[in-house]
């Protein structure tokens, strides 16, 4: 990993927080952190659990764990103590790294952290993976996923072969969390390897993102998730932004209306990435030429089996017993519905496989219903699930009543496709990565009694 992440000249700036951090400084900070981790009990083949918010401390301790020969267990800082304790009991790290002091407001993307290192268990890591991540949990309980150093290095090299990624000497305006795969590999690791400057905006606001773009003269790519597209689409620039080259998003499908609003406002490509925690980036369309389809990333094979997308994956990424319904014989079963064009190889993701339901003997795709609801005027976001019938949870964007919503849907959807139940919520539940939660239990609990 060292040769992949620690190349370049010591004076090259790799992070801007907003003060510049050059490679020489980062290397010294990592060496000091490695000494602290080792003194606290981390040994080669052991594990360090990182429960840190996005910060320089997170970056430094992650790289230090790997340099010490350890496994990094990434715990989103927004997890509850109960969730963290459950993960620690299962994964038994040798040391735990957590904040003892945090500075900055709730909307800060990168915060000032003073971390503390404590012993946890004197055991080797539960697997030989370089990193352990928990899945986002948008459709149910989180899965424990491991990736080897070789898999991470292969993905970093994969990014270098994708047309449209930020190039050496350019900047990535980094919005997604580096605890999760898009921000971790597509942002941090690729940026360190390729000599791309990583620039997290000071705050999570459209104005702050635009300020980060305009603060430098080099070309800038905004990396985020669909939530961030809406944020920028609703923000009016105060002047031209010649530095902005494109925005690239991963995560869930982007509503067509939101994509149009962004491209109309900024006039740059809105790129799309499809990936999973288990394998990283699977496919891309960074010029917006094939929306909603994507082309498989270099070295990745995608096939369609019974309406489900399967992705090449040499070994099971799951820690513990391998579920043959999720991985078998070198293929990851994504649980996403989709198609692969036999002539072009383009992949179209249709949504979750379980979005197909039967109503009175008629097949209904909940993804289609959800897209119809989400594109209505006055709707900011929507989730449609099957809960003893088609049920829609809707976050309005301004005044909206259930009667008005039902009337609008009656004009657009056949009767058997229309939601039987409509719930209007001030805020729809989201995962720590910004994805809309689709668990019926969580959605039910979000409804005010």
| Distance from C-alpha of 175 to C-alpha of 203, rounded to nearest angstrom | 10
Beta-carbon-side half-sphere exposure of residue 27 (alpha carbons within 13 Å): 14
Q: Which residue has the tokens 């040769």?
A: 3
| Angle at which helices 402-410 and 366-374 cross, to 10° | 120
Between strands 293-296 and 280-285, the pairing is: antiparallel
Q: Which residues lie closer than 8 Å to 27 by C-beta, 6 or more apart? A: 6, 10
- How far apart, in whole angstroms, are the C-alpha atoms of residue 168 and residue 325? 40
Dihedral angle sign, alpha carbons of residues 415, 416, 418, 422: positive
Contact 46, 94 (CB under 8 A): yes
Q: Which two tokens stand for residue 308?
A: 């489900």
**Dihedral (Cα; 153, 159, 161, 165), 10-degree rounding:** -150
What pLDDT does residue 449 have? 61
The C-alpha atoms of residue 18 and residue 23 are separated, in whole angstroms, by: 15
- For 261, the enclosing helix (H) or strand (E) is helix 256-266
The full DSSP string for 367-386 is HHHHHHHHTSTTEEEEEEEE
Rounded to an integer, what distance in angstroms lies between the CA atom of residue 382 and that of residue 423?
10
Phi, psi of 445 (to 5 degrees): -70, -20
- Residues recorded for the chain: 449
Can you name the residues that pair with 272 across neighbouring β-strands? 249, 285
pLDDT, position 142:
63
d(Cα 426, Cα 407) in Å, to the nearest integer?
A: 21
Number of H helices, E strands in the chain: 13, 25
Q: Report how far residue 150's alpha carbon sits from residue 163's, in angstroms, rounded to the nearest whole number.
A: 22
Whether 275 contacts 135, CB under 8 Å: no
Q: Write a three-state SS string for 203-247.
A: ECCHHHHHHHHHCCCCCEEEEECHHHHHHHHCCCCCCCCCCEEEE
pLDDT at 292: 84
Nearest to 50 by CA among 75, 81, 85: 75
Residue 65 neighbours by CB distance under 10 Å: 29
- Can you tell me the distance from the alpha carbon of 447 to that of 429, in angstroms, rounded to the nearest whole number? 10
- Tally the C-alpha atoms within 13 A of residue 212's C-alpha that lie toward its C-beta: 30
Q: pLDDT digit of tens for each residue in the chain (449 aa)?
A: 777 888 889 999 999 988 999 999 999 999 999 999 999 999 999 999 999 999 999 999 999 999 999 999 999 887 888 888 888 998 999 999 999 988 766 667 888 999 999 999 999 999 999 999 986 554 445 678 999 999 999 999 999 999 999 999 999 999 998 988 999 999 999 999 999 999 999 998 999 999 999 999 999 999 998 889 989 999 999 999 999 999 999 877 777 778 888 999 999 999 999 999 999 999 999 998 998 899 999 999 999 999 899 999 999 999 976 677 889 999 999 988 899 999 999 999 987 777 778 787 677 888 889 989 988 988 999 999 989 899 999 999 888 999 999 999 999 998 889 999 999 999 999 876 677 888 888 999 998 66
Q: What is the pLDDT of residue 268?
A: 96
Residue 182 DSSP label: I
Q: Give the Cα separation of 109 and 115 in Å (integer).
A: 17
């Amino acid at each position: 990993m060292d040769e992949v992440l620690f190349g370049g000249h010591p004076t090259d700036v790799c992070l801007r927080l907003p003060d510049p951090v050059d490679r020489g400084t980062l290397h010294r900070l990592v060496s000091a952190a490695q000494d602290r981790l080792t003194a606290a009990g981390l040994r080669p083949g052991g594990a360090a659990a990182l429960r840190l918010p996005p910060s320089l401390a997170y970056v430094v301790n992650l790289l230090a764990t790997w340099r010490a020969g350890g496994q990094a267990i990434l715990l989103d800082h927004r997890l509850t103590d109960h969730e963290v304790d459950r993960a620690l009991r299962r994964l038994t790290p040798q040391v735990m790294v957590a904040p003892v002091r945090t500075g900055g407001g709730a909307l800060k993307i990168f915060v000032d952290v003073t971390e503390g290192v404590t012993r946890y268990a004197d055991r080797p890591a539960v697997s030989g993976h370089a990193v352990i991540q928990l899945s986002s949990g948008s459709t149910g309980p989180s899965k424990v996923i491991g990736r080897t150093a070789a898999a991470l290095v292969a993905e970093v090299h994969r990014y270098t072969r994708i047309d449209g990624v930020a190039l050496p000497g350019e900047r990535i305006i980094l919005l997604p969390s580096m605890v999760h795969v898009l921000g971790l590999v597509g942002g941090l690791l690729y940026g360190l390897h390729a000599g791309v400057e990583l620039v997290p905006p000071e705050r999570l606001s459209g104005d702050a993102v635009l300020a980060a773009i305009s603060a430098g003269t080099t070309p800038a790519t905004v990396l985020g998730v669909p939530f961030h597209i809406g944020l920028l689409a609703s923000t009016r620039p105060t002047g031209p932004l010649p530095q902005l080259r494109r925005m690239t998003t991963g995560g869930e499908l982007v509503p067509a209306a939101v994509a149009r609003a962004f491209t109309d406002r900024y006039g740059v490509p809105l790129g799309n990435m499809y990936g999973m925690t288990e394998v990283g980036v699977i496919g891309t369309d960074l010029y917006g030429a094939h929306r909603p389809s994507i082309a498989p990333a270099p070295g990745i094979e995608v096939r369609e089996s019974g309406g489900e997308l399967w992705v090449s994956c040499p070994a099971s990424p799951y820690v513990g017993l391998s579920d043959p319904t999720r991985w078998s014989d070198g293929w990851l079963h994504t649980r996403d519905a989709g198609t692969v064009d036999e002539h072009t190889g383009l992949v179209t993701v249709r949504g979750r496989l379980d979005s197909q339901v039967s109503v009175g003997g008629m097949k209904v795709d909940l993804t289609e219903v959800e897209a119809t609801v989400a594109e209505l005027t006055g709707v900011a976001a929507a989730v449609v699930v099957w809960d003893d019938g088609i049920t829609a949870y809707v976050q309005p964007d301004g005044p909206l009543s259930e009667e008005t919503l039902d009337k609008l849907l009656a004009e657009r959807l056949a009767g058997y496709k229309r939601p039987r139940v409509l719930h209007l919520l001030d805020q729809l539940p989201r995962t720590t990565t910004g994805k809309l939660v689709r668990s019926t239990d969580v959605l039910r609990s979000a409804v005010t009694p």
